[in-house]
Amino acid sequence: MRTKKKYFFKYKNLFKYKKHLLKFNSIGFKIIFSKIILKKEEEYLKLYIIKIFKSEFKKKIKIWFFFNCYYNLTKLPIESRMGKGKGEIIDTFGFYKKGFILFEINNIFIYEALNLKKKLNKKNILKFKIIF
Protein backbone atom coordinates (compact mmCIF):
# COMPACT_ATOMS: atom_id res chain seq x y z
CA MET A 1 0.00 0.00 0.00
CA ARG A 2 1.28 3.44 -0.95
CA THR A 3 1.69 5.97 1.87
CA LYS A 4 0.51 9.52 1.44
CA LYS A 5 2.95 12.40 1.70
CA LYS A 6 2.37 15.14 4.23
CA TYR A 7 2.43 18.61 2.72
CA PHE A 8 1.88 22.01 4.28
CA PHE A 9 -1.39 23.37 2.92
CA LYS A 10 -1.03 26.55 0.88
CA TYR A 11 -3.94 28.30 -0.76
CA LYS A 12 -3.25 29.02 -4.39
CA ASN A 13 -3.84 32.61 -5.45
CA LEU A 14 -4.06 32.35 -9.21
CA PHE A 15 -5.14 35.21 -11.42
CA LYS A 16 -5.86 32.93 -14.38
CA TYR A 17 -8.68 30.90 -12.82
CA LYS A 18 -10.27 28.84 -15.61
CA LYS A 19 -12.43 26.40 -13.66
CA HIS A 20 -15.51 28.61 -13.88
CA LEU A 21 -16.33 27.81 -17.54
CA LEU A 22 -18.54 25.00 -18.85
CA LYS A 23 -16.59 22.23 -20.59
CA PHE A 24 -19.31 20.00 -22.04
CA ASN A 25 -21.95 22.57 -23.19
CA SER A 26 -24.52 21.55 -20.61
CA ILE A 27 -25.99 22.88 -17.36
CA GLY A 28 -23.42 23.46 -14.60
CA PHE A 29 -23.68 23.95 -10.86
CA LYS A 30 -21.34 26.63 -9.52
CA ILE A 31 -20.35 27.24 -5.86
CA ILE A 32 -21.35 30.60 -4.39
CA PHE A 33 -18.84 30.65 -1.46
CA SER A 34 -15.27 29.35 -1.07
CA LYS A 35 -15.16 26.31 1.17
CA ILE A 36 -13.09 23.33 2.29
CA ILE A 37 -14.93 20.04 1.76
CA LEU A 38 -13.86 16.75 3.32
CA LYS A 39 -13.75 13.50 1.33
CA LYS A 40 -16.81 12.14 3.20
CA GLU A 41 -18.88 15.20 2.29
CA GLU A 42 -17.88 14.86 -1.38
CA GLU A 43 -18.89 11.20 -1.47
CA TYR A 44 -22.18 11.99 0.28
CA LEU A 45 -22.93 14.76 -2.21
CA LYS A 46 -22.21 12.48 -5.19
CA LEU A 47 -24.44 9.71 -3.83
CA TYR A 48 -27.23 12.17 -3.02
CA ILE A 49 -27.18 13.64 -6.55
CA ILE A 50 -27.24 10.19 -8.15
CA LYS A 51 -30.08 9.12 -5.83
CA ILE A 52 -32.18 12.15 -6.83
CA PHE A 53 -31.66 11.41 -10.53
CA LYS A 54 -32.58 7.75 -10.19
CA SER A 55 -35.75 8.46 -8.23
CA GLU A 56 -37.12 11.50 -10.08
CA PHE A 57 -35.81 11.48 -13.64
CA LYS A 58 -36.54 8.39 -15.70
CA LYS A 59 -34.35 9.34 -18.69
CA LYS A 60 -30.65 8.87 -19.32
CA ILE A 61 -28.63 11.72 -17.87
CA LYS A 62 -24.88 12.17 -18.07
CA ILE A 63 -23.13 13.74 -15.05
CA TRP A 64 -19.54 14.99 -14.90
CA PHE A 65 -18.12 15.51 -11.39
CA PHE A 66 -15.09 17.77 -10.89
CA PHE A 67 -14.34 16.89 -7.26
CA ASN A 68 -10.73 16.56 -6.18
CA CYS A 69 -9.20 15.89 -2.76
CA TYR A 70 -5.55 16.82 -3.10
CA TYR A 71 -4.74 17.98 0.41
CA ASN A 72 -4.20 16.02 3.63
CA LEU A 73 -5.63 17.01 7.01
CA THR A 74 -3.16 16.25 9.82
CA LYS A 75 -3.35 16.43 13.60
CA LEU A 76 -0.81 16.11 16.40
CA PRO A 77 -1.63 14.29 19.65
CA ILE A 78 -2.81 16.51 22.53
CA GLU A 79 0.30 16.28 24.73
CA SER A 80 2.96 16.68 22.04
CA ARG A 81 5.50 19.46 22.17
CA MET A 82 6.74 21.67 19.38
CA GLY A 83 9.24 20.24 16.92
CA LYS A 84 7.69 16.79 16.64
CA GLY A 85 6.58 17.07 13.00
CA LYS A 86 3.15 17.51 11.46
CA GLY A 87 1.38 14.53 12.97
CA GLU A 88 -0.78 11.76 11.54
CA ILE A 89 -2.99 12.09 8.46
CA ILE A 90 -6.64 12.13 9.54
CA ASP A 91 -8.53 12.83 6.33
CA THR A 92 -8.22 14.33 2.86
CA PHE A 93 -9.99 17.45 1.66
CA GLY A 94 -10.40 19.74 -1.29
CA PHE A 95 -10.37 23.52 -1.31
CA TYR A 96 -12.86 25.05 -3.74
CA LYS A 97 -12.90 28.73 -4.63
CA LYS A 98 -15.96 30.84 -5.27
CA GLY A 99 -17.19 30.20 -8.81
CA PHE A 100 -15.82 26.65 -9.13
CA ILE A 101 -18.08 24.33 -11.15
CA LEU A 102 -18.52 21.14 -9.12
CA PHE A 103 -20.55 19.16 -11.64
CA GLU A 104 -22.22 19.41 -15.03
CA ILE A 105 -25.36 17.65 -16.24
CA ASN A 106 -26.42 16.84 -19.78
CA ASN A 107 -29.95 16.09 -21.17
CA ILE A 108 -31.88 17.93 -18.46
CA PHE A 109 -34.48 20.70 -18.63
CA ILE A 110 -34.11 24.03 -16.83
CA TYR A 111 -37.02 23.49 -14.44
CA GLU A 112 -35.52 20.10 -13.42
CA ALA A 113 -32.17 21.80 -12.74
CA LEU A 114 -33.90 24.43 -10.60
CA ASN A 115 -35.62 21.68 -8.62
CA LEU A 116 -32.27 19.92 -8.08
CA LYS A 117 -30.61 23.19 -6.98
CA LYS A 118 -33.35 23.76 -4.42
CA LYS A 119 -32.85 20.27 -2.94
CA LEU A 120 -29.06 20.59 -2.82
CA ASN A 121 -29.19 24.01 -1.14
CA LYS A 122 -31.42 22.56 1.61
CA LYS A 123 -28.64 20.11 2.59
CA ASN A 124 -26.42 23.01 3.81
CA ILE A 125 -23.17 21.44 2.59
CA LEU A 126 -22.78 23.95 -0.22
CA LYS A 127 -24.80 26.69 -1.88
CA PHE A 128 -25.11 26.38 -5.65
CA LYS A 129 -25.91 28.60 -8.59
CA ILE A 130 -26.99 27.31 -12.03
CA ILE A 131 -25.14 28.37 -15.18
CA PHE A 132 -25.96 27.58 -18.82
pLDDT in tens, 86-118: 788 888 888 888 888 888 998 888 998 899 899
What pLDDT digit, counting tens, does each position of 22-47 carry? Answer: 888 789 998 888 888 899 988 998 99
Number of domains in the chain: 1
In a domain, 111, yes or no: yes
In a domain, 3, yes or no: no
In a domain, 10, yes or no: no
- We report the CATH number of the domain holding residue 46 as 3.90.1170.10
This prediction has a pTM of: 0.74
In a domain, 18, yes or no: no
Q: Annotate 93-107 with DSSP letters as a single string.
A: EEEE-TT-EEEEEES
In a domain, 41, yes or no: yes
In a domain, 74, yes or no: yes
What pLDDT band is residue 15 in, cutting at 50, 70 and 90?
very low
- List the domain range (segments joined by +) for residue 88: 27-131
